[in-house]
């Protein structure tokens, strides 16, 4: 319902307080961690602050933002609009969402709500719609920031528009350095893909975006047994024409992404070389095995120098109360990037050598989701021309494979 922060003298707390003050007193958005991806937050009630989010990201203004709350009472007070607290005895949160809130909040779920008459929300947040997306993140830093700033925070993912979403503070810096002044570093994100967006105002209730909460988890809630999928990502395979302005790019690294749908036989070495004949360097993202060395002369100096590994530990997966200092501090210290194994394949003279950067994300869907955006960004840093990604089976409803494949299909220019 409601909670309070015990005021402390620690440096972390002072930094959070300074960020909250910045949100209240300036229009410069603040980047903060959530359990899904990093968000770029601003006071959702102030137009000038919200417009600055769109400007910093280069985001099209017709794409509405999600509003983040620290408590149900903060959400209720917004939903009551100009009706106020006293006149309105009934709960403004629609019944259909109650079981979801009970089960998944705080957590990776966004619900679509009616924007009330006389809403405090800046019109830019909703992009002209009469609804808005509401979410209560479970990252303790996010909750504390919203609580300290005392206003709901409008926050899209903190990447530059079209780029892969940021799952570490470094990713935000890479995209937005010079455009914002504060990033709260909470270490790598626990989930790695964005929240599931659901609309329970229409019947049957609809999933607008797959994410950290699975279809099966939703179906277990009363009123949500017949939830339908309201997004499309399975259009025909092959090369997707991308006329500028026709369709927004999304989740895309600089390199061309070639996605192998699950069930596609893995290419043998010859087919692979054929696919990348024109290219000088290729990245590979595996989702079933660890990285492999395809060529000769392996130089994986990175691995030994930094001691990095593919496993990003969950910050606080099972705790009922995530406020555990030891976990938090551990998470600050660990920024781990998926490790790319390098090898060089010597081709015929006219083609020259092929540089191969190979990342194995591991087998579990959760681990793949956690490392996916980071892997795409890492391969961009290696300067590869093309990234071959091994898709995963998303016909099952009991894991977050649908979210992983949805992001990959949007990122891919070529699908096989
Ligand atoms: O996990 C997340 O949701 C992250 C973190 C930062 O909370 N945020 C995020 O925001 O992914 P963004 O802006 O990248 O995605 C917002 C999604 C978009 O797909 C948008 O179309 C949808 O939410 N959305 C927002 N308001 C909506 C509305 N009123 N009706 C339908 N869809 C809406
Ligand atoms: Mg986004």
Span 121-130, pLDDT tens digits:
999 999 989 9
The three-point CA angle 284-197-167 to 5° equals 40
Tell me the longest C-alpha to C-alpha distance in the chain.
80
pLDDT above 70 covers what percent of the chain? 83
pLDDT at 181: 94
At 302, is the pLDDT very low, low, confident or very high (cuts 50, 70, 90)?
very low
Which ligand sits closest to the CA of 165?
2
371 lines ligand 1 (CB under 6 A): no
195 lines ligand 1 (CB under 6 A): yes
pLDDT at 340: 87
What phi, psi does 180 have (nearest 5°)?
Answer: -130, 165
pLDDT at 337: 66
Name the residue ranges covered by the structural domains of the chain: 11-229, 238-415
pLDDT at 3: 79
Q: At what angle do helices 365-381 and 401-411 cross, to 10 degrees?
A: 20
pLDDT of residue 66 exceeding 90, the answer is: yes
pLDDT at 11: 84
Q: In the CATH scheme, what is the homologous superfamily, with its name and number, of domain 11-229?
A: DHBP synthase (3.90.870.10)
157 lines ligand 1 (CB under 6 A): yes
pLDDT of residue 317 exceeding 90, the answer is: no
In this predicted model, what pLDDT tens digit does every residue of 9-35 receive, in sequence order?
A: 788 889 999 999 999 999 999 999 999
Q: What is the mean pLDDT of the chain?
A: 84
Strands 153-154 and 39-43: antiparallel
Q: At what angle do helices 365-381 and 169-176 cross, to 10 degrees?
A: 40
In this predicted model, what pLDDT tens digit does every residue of 338-393 receive, in sequence order?
A: 788 888 888 877 788 899 999 988 778 998 999 999 999 999 999 999 999 999 99
Q: Specify the CATH number of the domain 238-415.
A: 3.40.50.11030
The three-point CA angle 274-278-282 to 5° equals 80
pLDDT at 88: 61
pLDDT at 291: 52
pLDDT above 90 covers what percent of the chain? 64
Q: Are 344 and 295 in contact (CB under 8 A)?
A: yes
pLDDT at 334: 44
29 lines ligand 1 (CB under 6 A): no
In this predicted model, what pLDDT tens digit does every residue of 208-265 receive, in sequence order?
A: 999 999 999 999 999 999 999 999 887 656 655 544 434 467 889 999 999 999 988 7
133 lines ligand 1 (CB under 6 A): yes
pLDDT at 343: 87
pLDDT: which is higher, 234 or 90: 90
pLDDT at 221: 98
Q: Are 79 and 113 in contact (CB under 8 A)?
A: yes
Q: Where are the beta strands (DSSP E) in 353-401?
A: 354-360, 386-390
**pTM beyond cutoff 0.95:** no
pLDDT at 5: 77
pLDDT at 237: 61
Burial zone of 256 (CB within 10 Å; 0-12 exposed, 13-18 middle, 19+ buried): middle
At 64, is the pLDDT very low, low, confident or very high (cuts 50, 70, 90)?
very high
105 lines ligand 1 (CB under 6 A): no
pLDDT at 323: 32
CA of 157 to the centre of ligand 2 (A): 4
Which ligand sits closest to the CA of 249?
2
Q: Which of the residue ranges 43-47, 89-93, 137-141, 142-146 would you say has the lowest mean pLDDT?
A: 89-93
Query: Among 65, 122, 165, 172, which is best to mutate for testing ligand 1, by the most ligand atoms less than 8 A from CB?
Result: 65
CA of 271 to the centre of ligand 1 (A): 39
Tell me whether domains 11-229 and 238-415 share a fold: no
pLDDT of residue 299 exceeding 50, the answer is: no
pLDDT of residue 335 exceeding 70, the answer is: no
34 lines ligand 1 (CB under 6 A): yes
């Amino acid at each position: 319902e409601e909670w309070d922060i015990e005021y402390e003298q620690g440096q972390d707390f002072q930094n959070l307080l300074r960020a909250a003050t910045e949100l209240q007193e300036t229009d410069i958005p603040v980047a903060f961690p959530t359990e899904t991806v990093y968000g770029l937050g601003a006071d959702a009630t102030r137009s000038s602050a919200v417009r600055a989010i769109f400007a910093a990201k280069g985001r099209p203004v017709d794409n509405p933002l999600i509003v983040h709350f620290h408590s149900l009472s903060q959400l209720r007070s917004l939903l009551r609009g100009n009706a106020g607290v006293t006149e309105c005895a009934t709960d403004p949160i629609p019944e259909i969402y109650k079981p979801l809130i009970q089960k998944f909040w705080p957590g990776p779920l966004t619900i679509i709500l009616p924007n009330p008459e006389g809403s405090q929300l800046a019109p830019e947040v909703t992009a002209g719609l009469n609804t808005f997306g509401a979410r209560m993140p479970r990252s303790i830093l996010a909750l504390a920031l919203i609580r300290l700033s005392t206003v709901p925070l409008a926050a899209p993912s903190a990447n530059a528009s079209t780029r892969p979403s940021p799952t570490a503070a470094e990713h935000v810096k890479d995209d937005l350095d010079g455009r914002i002044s504060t990033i709260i570093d909470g270490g790598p994100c626990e989930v790695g893909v964005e929240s599931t967006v659901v609309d329970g105002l229409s019947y049957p209730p609809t999933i607008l975006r797959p994410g950290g909460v699975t279809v099966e988890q939703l179906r277990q809630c009363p009123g949500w047994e017949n939830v339908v999928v309201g997004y499309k990502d399975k259009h025909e395979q092959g090369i997707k024409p991308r006329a500028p302005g026709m369709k927004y790019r999304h989740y895309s690294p600089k390199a061309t992404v070639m996605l192998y749908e699950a069930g596609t036989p893995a290419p043998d070495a010859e087919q692979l070389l054929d696919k990348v004949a024109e290219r000088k360097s290729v990245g590979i993202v595996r989702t079933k095995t660890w990285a492999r060395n395809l060529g000769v002369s392996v130089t994986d100096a990175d691995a030994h120098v930094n001691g990095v590994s593919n496993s990003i530990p969950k910050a606080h997966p099972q705790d009922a109360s995530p406020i555990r200092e030891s976990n938090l501090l551990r998470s600050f210290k660990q920024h781990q990037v998926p490790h790319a194994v390098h090898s060089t394949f010597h081709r015929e003279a006219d083609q020259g050598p092929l540089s191969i950067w190979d990342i194995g994300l591991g087998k579990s869907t959760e681990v793949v989701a956690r490392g996916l955006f980071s892997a795409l960004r890492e391969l961009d840093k290696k300067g590869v021309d093309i990234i071959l990604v091994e898709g995963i089976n998303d016909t099952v409803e009991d894991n977050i494979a649908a979210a992983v494949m949805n992001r990959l299909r949007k990122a891919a220019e070529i699908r096989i």
